[in-house]
Structure 1
Amino acid sequence: MTDPEPTPAPEVDAEAEADLARHASKMAKKKAARDKIMAGKAGEKGLIIVHTGAGKGKSSSGFGMILRCVAHGMPSAVVQFIKGAWDTGERRLLTTHFADLCEFHAMGEGFTWETQDKARDIAAARAGWEKAQELIRNPSIRMVLLDEINIALRYDYLDIDEVLAFLAAEKPPLTHVVLTGRNASDKLIEAADLVTEMTLVKHPFRSGIKAQAGVEF
């Protein structure tokens, strides 16, 4: 019985090897530059975070942050200023499974064109803001989501100067506050640490598709 022929070594593609070497060198330089930047970022700070713009995803992103806090065992809270009358998936999930880590306060009664009562809308916004201040003052709560507060501010149901003065004077140093809704005021954007604007590119509503569970609420 003869020994089998040895398997020939694969041919070396010099061009491919050179390309891999160039990529490795480029990534090493990027990592070194990134490590240098990160070396100077040791501090922590409670952030004022704004999600605004005409595109979808403002509240969704805010609730994503709340779920991250829950996953880390960090106490958090939500105050809904407009969509409080909605039976949303976020509300069901948080109140049913994570009530020990996230307080949920649905203070709104619906969009302004649904209530058609300005005095009632202002009263609901004021009640929401009172609850928000109570929650933000509590240093054990690490993140407070003020969902759709920008709408209440836009319609002057709340005073932007009052809100900013409170955040500057009374927000604990490590507490994050997330403010969502279209048309965030220039003053709020200036005061915020992190601002994201969702841009509308395409939306099914324009094609006759209504809001759907799991997508919008």
Structure 2
Amino acid sequence: MTDQDPHTEHTRKDDKHKASMQKQKAKVDARIAEAKTERGIALLLTGNGKGKSSSAFGMVMRALGYGQRVGVVQFIKGAQLSGEELYLRDHCPQVHFYQMGTGFTWNTQDRSGDISAAEQTWAEAEALLKNPDVALVVLDELTYMIAYQYLDEQRILQAIQNRPSAQSVVVTGRGGGSALQDIMDTVSDVKDVKHAFRAGIKARQGVDY
């Protein structure tokens, strides 16, 4: 019994790989051909894992790359300056950036004050969701406003559903309820497998905030 010729084995693997990729390309091309609807999408980034806001800001950079107008409204965050806020305020004047500014609710411990701040912040978000010139709206940590009942859920759902047809919206935060998920086009659940903070490692500037 002789060993198989290395050149023949290499060619066989190449042919097998090519056939597999051709089949995969045919499936992808078919799905692309089936997608005929041209409109903005509603995307929910939820789950217990890290990276939801980071993903949303990645889409902000994409939109800016195409010269699109962007609106960003951050709920919960704001007591400490974030890297994304510093960059967008200094380098991207075309981005409408608004933060609730109260910080985390477990720090404020002031329900009435948080509700008042949430309503003021939602007014900024609602205006963006009515503006057809804004291509992308990011509502960062909005889900907590629903979970804590700081804002009326139906008002939020209606504003997202009634936005301009070409506008896309990204909502981030844990939970948010089934009603919010039901109206979104895409829902991604970011899972928590391992986190440095639980090992006693401090949050890192430029990575965590």
TM normalised by structure 1 equals 0.90
Structure 2 residue 26 is matched with structure 1 residue 32: yes
SS in 2 for 1:13: helix
Aligned counterpart, 2:109: 116
RMSD, matched Cα: 1.3
Q: Identify the match of residue 204 of structure 2 among 193, 207, 212.
A: 212
Stretches of structure 1 lacking an aligned partner (at least 5 in a row):
1-10
Aligned pairs for 1:37-116 within 5 A: 37-100=31-94, 102-116=95-109
Structure 2 residue 184 is matched with structure 1 residue 192: yes
Question: What is the CA–CA distance in structure 1 between the aligned matches of 2:180 and 2:85, rounded to whole Å?
Answer: 26
SS in 2 for 1:66: helix
Q: Please list the CA deviations of residues 87-138 of structure 1 after superposition, one character each: whole Å capped at 9, or x if unmatched.
A: 11100111100112x1101123111111111111001111111110101111
Question: What is the CA–CA distance in structure 1 between the aligned matches of 2:146 and 2:130, rounded to whole Å?
Answer: 20
SS in 1 for 2:187: strand
Question: What is the CA–CA distance in structure 2 between the aligned matches of 1:36 and 1:103, rounded to whole Å?
Answer: 38
**How many angstroms does 1:12 deviate by?**
6.8
Aligned counterpart, 1:164: 157
Aligned pairs for 1:171-186 within 5 A: 171-186=163-178
SS in 2 for 1:84: coil
Question: What is the CA–CA distance in structure 2 between the aligned matches of 1:187 and 1:108, rounded to whole Å?
Answer: 27
Q: Identify the match of residue 149 of structure 1 among 139, 142, 166.
A: 142
Question: What is the CA–CA distance in structure 2 between the aligned matches of 1:36 and 1:52, rounded to whole Å?
Answer: 29
Percent of aligned pairs sharing the same letter: 41
Aligned counterpart, 1:6: none
Question: What is the CA–CA distance in structure 1 between the aligned matches of 2:187 and 2:31, rounded to whole Å?
Answer: 21
Residues 108 and 128 in structure 1, CA contact (< 8 A), matched pair in contact too: no
Q: Please list the CA deviations of residues 141-185 of structure 1 after superposition, one character each: whole Å capped at 9, or x if unmatched.
A: 0011111111111100011111112222x3000111111111121
Question: What is the CA–CA distance in structure 2 between the aligned matches of 1:158 and 1:86, rounded to whole Å?
Answer: 23
Residues 81 and 148 in structure 1, CA contact (< 8 A), matched pair in contact too: yes
**How many angstroms does 1:86 deviate by?**
2.0
1:207 aligned partner, one-letter code: A
1:61 aligned partner, one-letter code: S
Residues 108 and 125 in structure 1, CA contact (< 8 A), matched pair in contact too: no
Question: What is the CA–CA distance in structure 2 between the aligned matches of 1:186 and 1:43, rounded to whole Å?
Answer: 25
TM normalised by structure 2 equals 0.93
SS in 1 for 2:102: coil
Question: What is the CA–CA distance in structure 1 between the aligned matches of 2:163 and 2:80, rounded to whole Å?
Answer: 29
- Between the two proteins, the alignment pairs up a number of residues equal to 205
